Amino acid sequence: MADPKPEAAARVAELRKLINHHNYRYYVLDSPEISDAEYDRLLRELQALEQQYPDLVTPDSPTQRVGAAPVAAFGVVEHRLPLLSLANAFSNEELMAWHKRLKNQAPDADFDFVAETKMDGLAVAITYVDGLLTTGATRGDGFRGENITQNLKTIRSIPLSVPRDAAPPSFEVRGEVFMSKASFKKLNEERAREGQALFANPRNAAAGSVRQLDPRITSQRQLDIYVYALGWSEGRQMPDNHWDTMQYLKSLGFKVNHDNRLCQSIAEVEEFHKDIAEKREGLPYETDGIVAKVNSFPLQERLGFVAREPRWAIAYKFPPMQATTRLTGIGINVGRTGSLNPFAIMEPVLVGGVTVSRAALHNEDYIRQKDLRIGDWVIVQRAGDVIPEIVGPVVSRRTGSERPFVMPTRCPVCGADAVRPEGEAMSRCSNAACPAQA
């Protein structure tokens, strides 16, 4: 009887090729060619053959995305090149000031730029050797990150292997792992039904999901990735600019954001920022700004770095998203130093995808300067798209029933006198034995 293994090996190779193709169509191009049922049938056939012939299993098989055992803790990965932070611009004037600095440093250069949406997720570095994904790590402190290789393998938009004849022998890509708005909504609905704590926003959900010690949990979270840079490469001549490099990575099977744009001038970068800001709410992912990068690699090298930031790139943030709600009260927290810290109590309101009902008010002078009154309609924003803050009252909506805030003269925790030392902004509990100061 003929040995069935050569026939099985050929079918396994064919199935892997088919499944990888359909993974790419579905998870990268968002353009599936077959039904979910047909995809599942192909995957089950491959699983059955690999169970029958275990020596045919390879590290880049689609069946190996899920199944690694939980770990007790993440290992540490030393980044070959650091993952640096970016300087921020919050206005067109600051963007133009950055451009002026570039021109001053390289007055003879012709600048073009790549403008990209700034993803609100978790930065990762992924290494490939001889066509296979070997290591994946978080950004960490920029120099060392956590080894999350098995978790990243569960994300279907990350290729487990790339064509060896088209890729460098070894290289690293950098990307942002994120959770789409739709997946975030679905996840929180499931957690609500199960009585679990809800995630505050898609970024927290993505970061928490990718750092699970059990890859099987990560695999259930519908994470995605956009690759935004080539970290380093060896053994192959690469393009000399960022835009062509990203097109090359796309040809290898990596997911690159199609919203990104090649800009011939800083004015086009400004226009890109405006375009993305206008359609921000309708995008399937969270973004808090754009990133502008000098396109030319030789020019990037010439411009260099300052501290831990490249001079050739900048994050141009969007203005904080705002909403209006009612200030129903002002509460007091007593800190460990005895300080009485006022905070706003508001009717819950959605700001930038997060429900906000509390905001710090810092001290009595802060409240007076903003002329906040209990019962006011107030404008709320998330500073840096993270921390809730009250911008100010909507004075035109006052009815006369609003009440000025009066700082308590006694500690709300122990009842001792609250005093405000001369020259200080904070009132403090006078009782050193106050439970809040323990």
CA distance 264 to 148: 38
Q: Which residues pair with 147 in a beta bridge?
A: 137
Q: Which residue, chain included where needed, has tokens 């007055």?
A: 107
> Tell me, what DSSP letter sits at residue 435?
G
The answer to whether 421 and 390 have CB atoms below 8 angstroms apart is: no
Angle among Cα 344, 348, 350 to the nearest 5 degrees reads 115
Q: 383 has which bridge partners?
A: 387
Local structure of 125: helix, strand or coil:
strand
Q: How far apart are CA 274 and CA 261, in angstroms?
A: 13
| CB atoms near residue 176 (< 10 Å) | 23
Q: b vs e for 90-127, b when ≥16 Cβ sit within 10 Å of the residue's Cβ?
A: eeeeebeebbeebeeebeeeebbbbbbbbbbbbbbbbb
Of these residues, 17, 103, 118, 317, which one is catalytic?
Answer: 118
Could you give the C-alpha distances from 355 to 179, 263, 366, in angstroms and in order? 18, 36, 24
Query: Catalytic residue at 118?
Result: yes
* Unique residue bearing structure tokens 């954001």: 257
Task: Say how far apart CA 220 and CA 398 lie, in whole Å.
Answer: 49
Convert 251-287 to b/e letters by CB count within 10 Å (16 or more is b).
Answer: ebbbbbbebbbbbeebebbbebbeebeeebeeeebbb
Q: Quick one: which H or E segment has residue 361? A: none
DSSP letter, residue 436: G
Active site residues: 118
